[in-house]
Homo-oligomer: A and B are copies of this chain.
Amino acid sequence: MPRLLLTPGPVAIPDFVMDALRKPVIYHRTEEFEHFYASFLVQLRALFQTEQRVCSLLGSGTAGVEAAMYSTFHKGERVLVLENGKFSKRWTDYAGLIGLEVIPLRLPWGKSFAPTTILDALERNPGISGIVLTHCETSTGVCLDLEEIAFAVKRHHPHILLLVDAITTLGAIPFYFDAWQIDLAVLASQKALMSPAGLVAFACSELALEKMHPTHKSDYFNLYNYLKAAESFSVPYTPPVQILYAVQAALTHILEIGLPRHWNQVHRLSRLFKDGIQKLGGEIFGESPSDSLTAFGFEATDLLKLKHELIQQYDIHLSGGQDELEGKILRVSHMGYLTEADMKRTLEAIEKILM
């Protein structure tokens, strides 16, 4: 059996995406590039479900969220950061680092945020100008009900800016940037876009753009530069052309299937795997688990050993828990180029090892 990569980023990449990596390199200060990038931005808009501004940046997911926060919020601003896992904790730390007045709203890892909890926090802390939300915590698999949260927040506080880390959701589960009134959302190529790591992309509302400022040309993290350059289908700095080609191939594939059908496909893999784990006596970790990945455990089982044996005996590679969840959960991606057979193969392998 071939190697099966089930880590929740990087993910299994299809051959047609790998092939696109090999397309001839082009110089980015040309009409040829602008022509390509114009069509790429159209695809990005379709993915984000937006008619507003989009752009991309060469970097990892961390770079993407940091750039979003850095570009949008300014020293001393009050920002509410929802923290319920490893990655959302990063955004709290970074907000402090760039001098924001951070109001962290903390829940134990594995818990989800109800809209009322957020509205209460906004009431208790007047003057908050933005909220940083992690749609799905890759470290726990917990997925916020972003539609509900955004609806509640925007209804009572239309001027509070919603900045969403959608790294582990965009492309995998329903996401409607315009309809939900999100202001700034970030995705990364190596997750639901089933591409190599290297690219992050953004959608941006007028409200978010108004908060950004032009600076000198040299300011890699200033999204204003990217959004302005995108108006003429250009980029401020050298783009990762080969990665752009790969992401283009993935986007073409996903959009040809159609987003709702594609989301449904991810959902079916998730359902199949979660049901299978429960049938084997396992437990799904956390509240409102995402379809992007499954975080799970088995009582009285050495999970690190299980993970190791899956690699050794079956060439199946999944992730363990991180930081405080090390040894307590395993994580399997439903993002990437995966089939129901891959999920069944994994469940069967787990069953055999547990027997």
Contacts and interface: CB of A to CB of B under 8 A. Distances in A.
Nearest to A320: B29
A96 interface: yes
A97 interface: yes
Nearest to A191: B238
A30 B63 CA distance: 22
Interface size bracket, A side? 35 or more
Interface in A51-69: 58-63, 66
B9 A238 contact: yes
Contact of A22 (B18, B26, B198): B18
A205 interface: no
A13 B27 contact: no
Counting every copy of the chain, the complex holds 2
A241 interface: yes
A168 to B, nearest CB: 12
A157 B328 CA distance: 54
A346 interface: no
Contacts of A197: 58, 238-242
A25 interface: yes
B219 A94 contact: yes
A238 B22 contact: no
B94 A216 contact: yes
Chain A binding site: helix, strand, loop or mixed by DSSP?
loop
A58 B243 CA distance: 12
A59 B217 CA distance: 16
Nearest to A2: B24
B237 A198 contact: no
A11 to B, nearest CB: 8
Contacts of A219: 66, 93-94, 97
A90 interface: yes
A10 interface: yes
B91 A198 contact: no
B29 A319 contact: yes
A295 B82 CA distance: 52
A258 to B, nearest CB: 26
A220 B13 CA distance: 25
Given A27-B7, A238-B10, A240-B198, A218 B58 contact: no
B238 A240 contact: no
Of listed A25, A61, A66, A97, residue having the most chain B CB within 10 A: A25
Nearest to A318: B27
